[in-house]
């Protein structure tokens, strides 16, 4: 079984409306100390929209960091005060123009668990 790190401190280095950038200090089982830097968000949602005829709806997004376009499922961040389902419905409408009254939760995921802590 993997050994756990013992957190000894936590600080917020930067905060904006979408996420916090944090720094933790920890102790390894051998007593050595280390640093861990990561982002923390209120969560994300991703929608897999399937039309009545079985077609799947995707979006074309420009991704700033790669400076290229990407074909993706509709997705987005969740604000702290927002319900996950409502956030998913809003993202679907904003990114595709489609709206739904009913959604089925398929799974829960963390897309970048090594450096982003999503709290949903």
pLDDT at 109 (0 to 100) = 76
User: Can you tell me the distance from the alpha carbon of 117 to that of 78, in angstroms, rounded to the nearest whole number?
Assistant: 13
What's the mean pLDDT in 20-32?
Answer: 94
Predicted pLDDT of residue 2:
66
Confidence of residue 27 (pLDDT cuts 50, 70, 90): very high
Per-residue HEC secondary structure of the chain comes to: CCCCCEEEEEEEEEECCCCEEEEEEEECCCCCEEEEEEEEECCEEECCCECCCCCECCEEEEECCCCEEEEECCEEECCCCCCHHHHHHHHHHHHHCCCCCCCCCCCCCCCCCCCEEECC
Asked if the model's pLDDT at residue 61 lies above 90, the reply is yes
Residue 55 scores a pLDDT above 90: yes
In this structure, is the dihedral angle defined by the CA atoms of residues 107, 111, 115 and 120, taken in order, positive or negative? negative
CB 40 within 8 A of CB 117: yes
**3-16 confidence digits (pLDDT tens):** 789 999 999 999 99
């Amino acid at each position: 079984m993997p050994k756990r790190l013992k957190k000894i401190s936590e600080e917020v280095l930067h905060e904006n409306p979408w996420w916090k950038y944090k720094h933790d200090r920890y102790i390894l089982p051998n007593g050595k100390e280390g640093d861990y830097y990561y982002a923390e968000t209120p969560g994300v949602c991703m929608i897999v929209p399937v039309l009545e005829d079985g077609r799947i709806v995707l979006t074309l997004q420009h991704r700033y960091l790669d400076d290229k376009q990407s074909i993706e499922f509709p997705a987005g961040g969740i604000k702290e005060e927002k319900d996950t389902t409502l956030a998913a419905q809003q993202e679907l409408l904003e990114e595709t123009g489609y709206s739904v009254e009913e959604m089925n939760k398929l799974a829960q995921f963390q897309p970048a668990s090594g450096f982003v802590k999503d709290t949903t």
